[in-house]
């Protein structure tokens, strides 16, 4: 599967295989020396982030550059953009070993936060990003203990603080005061010379301090102007702790245990197949094989072919094809017995489908009437669009006359609360049509034409 990427530097889009993207995204966080299970965690995290952006999961891709799954602008879709970095063998192996796996919560890919080292426990999401996310709960993590962070201590002067925080700090006016435990009990003469001072609990003469500290005189004062700020852990503390992950991996835990430890209540599961293979993903269709055993209006041919049977056979074939295309499909009946109109409408209104399609055959006193027609309820423009697409395909497959799309106010068209189409495939009463309906191969072709019509309709609508 390929993803569309917006190349920010060159202002143009390109396609990149999903696995290459995952490799580059994972490589940003994975050092050469890292354990294989850590690499697997990051392969899954990167894949989850891409999945989260796909339409198939309700994602919108890059919000700054619409139409692309992600952009290479640093700080937008990815913190450091998408640098052209070397993807190591171990990362490529990790991608293979975790093929299609993503982290989900409530059947949706999660936003998999991570940080370098939590320093004892991770954070609840509300304390960092202000909103409660069920899978981002505080967990204790002693796995990252004992690891030294780089740059964990930093010195700041009062000037640094003023500049970085954009504040004004009053300098102490007193020239001498106690700083408990450090400078205490200053004894000073009339000229301002220090006679004695306790430093760190020990008493020193002024001259002694001058000598030992190499000061110019015993007339001195002091003030705190430089601070050491020391941190525990590195990063916001949300989600997965990279240092802890590495330690867990070294202790023999696998990626599933690690991801489940840091992300609360998640599932690790296979990603849905790419959209191009499931054009009807998320669509609900009700198929209505009209008539059936016990229906006094059922069409029966001279040779004894029953309309209800033909409709059911075709509907079941359409059902199979639509399911393969990713749709959820319901039938108003699955056996030969007739189901009353009201009950069929009820089934549809309970399911609330995107489309309701009745499969029917026509009958007429005069044998010469033949061909295909379809009906929709007035102003149901979507049904009209789908109707035309299906009629074209059907007439081609069945090599029959296209009798056209018509407005009608049949009970089902009126009572079912969604776009509704009734397709009358052929005439049971016409000998040529009847022989086509009796042929299982033709029936299968008719079903294919209808299923393909539905797929084409949604593809056109999606554009």
Judged by the rule CB under 5 A, the positions of this chain that interact with Zn ion are 62, 64, 71, 76-77, 118, 141, 144, 241, 244
**CB proximity list for 119: less than 8 A, separation 6 or greater:** 144, 231, 232, 233, 234, 237
Q: Rounded to the nearest whole angstrom, what is the least distance from the CB of residue 5 to Zn ion in the complex?
A: 9
109 vs 393, which CB is nearer to Zn ion? 109
**Beta partners for 5?**
14, 70
CB neighbour list of residue 393: distance below 8 Å, 6 or more residues apart = 449, 450, 452, 453, 456
**Which CB atom, from 121 or from 349, has the smaller least distance to Zn ion?**
121
* Residue 70 parent element (H or E): strand 70-71
Compute the distance between CA of residue 439 and CA of residue 407 in angstroms, rounded to an integer: 30
CB of 138 to Zn ion, least distance (A): 11
Shortest distance (Å) from residue 62 CB to Zn ion: 3
Q: Which is nearer to Zn ion, 255 or 458 (CB)?
A: 255
What is the C-alpha separation between 307 and 313, in angstroms, rounded? 10
| DSSP conformation class of 56 | G
Strands (E), 129-282: 153-157, 183-188, 194-199, 202-205, 226-230, 240-241, 267-270
Name 259's Cβ contacts closer than 8 Å, sequence gap at least 6.
41, 44, 103, 240, 266, 268
The CB-of-284 to Zn ion minimum distance in angstroms stands at: 32
Which of residues 258 and 446 has its CB atom nearest to Zn ion in the complex? 258
Report how far residue 258's alpha carbon sits from residue 40's, in angstroms, rounded to the nearest whole number: 10
CB nearer Zn ion, residue 64 or residue 163: 64
Minimum distance of Zn ion from residue 360's CB (angstroms)? 50
Rank residues 240 and 412 by Cβ distance to Zn ion and give the closer one: 240
Tell the smallest beta-carbon distance from residue 262 to Zn ion (Å). 9
CB of 70 to Zn ion, least distance (A): 6
Q: Tell me the C-alpha distance between 139 and 120, whole Å.
A: 9
In terms of CB distance, is 123 or 272 closer to Zn ion? 123
Taking the complex as a whole, the smallest distance from the CB of residue 95 to Zn ion amounts, in Å, to 22
User: What length does the chain have?
Assistant: 463
Residue 196 tokens read as: 């004695």
Distance in angstroms (rounded) separating the CA atoms of residues 270 and 261: 19
Comparison of 136 and 360: residue with beta carbon closer to Zn ion: 136
Cα 388 to the center of its chain, rounded Å: 35
């Amino acid at each position: 599967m390929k993803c569309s990427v917006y190349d920010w530097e060159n202002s143009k889009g390109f396609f990149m295989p999903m696995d290459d993207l995952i490799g580059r995204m994972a490589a940003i966080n994975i050092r050469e020396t890292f354990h294989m299970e850590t690499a697997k965690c990051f392969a899954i995290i990167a894949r989850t982030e891409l999945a989260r952006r796909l339409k198939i999961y309700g994602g919108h891709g890059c919000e700054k550059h619409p139409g692309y799954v992600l952009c290479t602008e640093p700080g937008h879709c990815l913190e450091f953009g998408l640098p052209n970095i070397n993807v190591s063998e171990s990362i490529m192996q990790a991608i293979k070993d975790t093929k299609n796996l993503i982290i989900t919560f409530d059947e949706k890919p999660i936003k998999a936060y991570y940080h370098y080292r939590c320093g004892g426990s991770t954070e609840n999401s509300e304390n960092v990003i202000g909103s409660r996310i069920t899978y981002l709960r505080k967990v204790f993590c002693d796995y990252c203990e004992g690891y030294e962070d780089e740059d964990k201590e930093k010195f700041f002067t009062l000037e640094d603080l003023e500049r970085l925080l954009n504040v004004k700090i009053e300098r102490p006016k007193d020239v001498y005061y106690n700083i408990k435990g450090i400078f205490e009990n200053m004894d000073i003469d009339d000229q301002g010379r220090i006679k004695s001072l306790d430093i760190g609990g020990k008493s020193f003469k002024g001259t002694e301090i001058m000598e030992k500290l190499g000061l110019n005189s015993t007339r001195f004062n002091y003030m705190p102007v430089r601070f050491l700020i020391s941190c525990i852990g590195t990063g916001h503390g949300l989600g997965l702790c990279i240092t802890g992950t590495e330690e867990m991996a070294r202790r023999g835990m696998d990626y599933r245990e690690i991801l489940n430890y840091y992300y609360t209540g998640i599932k690790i599961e296979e990603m849905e197949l790419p959209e191009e293979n499931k054009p009807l993903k998320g669509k609900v269709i009700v198929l209505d094989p009209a008539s059936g055993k016990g229906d006094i209006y059922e069409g029966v041919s001279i040779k004894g072919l029953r309309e209800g049977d033909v409709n059911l056979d075709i509907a079941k074939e359409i059902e199979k094809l639509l399911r393969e295309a990713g749709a959820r499909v319901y039938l108003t009946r699955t056996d030969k017995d007739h189901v009353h109109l009201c009950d069929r409408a009820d089934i549809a209104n309970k399911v609330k489908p995107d489309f309701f399609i009745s499969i029917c055959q026509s009958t007429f006193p005069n044998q010469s009437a033949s061909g295909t027609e379809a009906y929709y309820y007035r102003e149901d423009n979507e049904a009209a669009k789908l109707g035309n697409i299906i009629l074209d395909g059907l007439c081609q497959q069945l090599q029959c006359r296209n009798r056209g799309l018509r407005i009608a106010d049949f009970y089902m068209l009126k009572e079912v609360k969604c776009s509704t189409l009734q397709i009358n495939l052929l005439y049971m009463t016409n000998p040529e049509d009847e022989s086509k309906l009796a042929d299982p191969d033709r029936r299968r072709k008719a079903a294919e034409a209808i299923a393909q019509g539905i797929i084409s309709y949604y593809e056109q609508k999606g554009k």
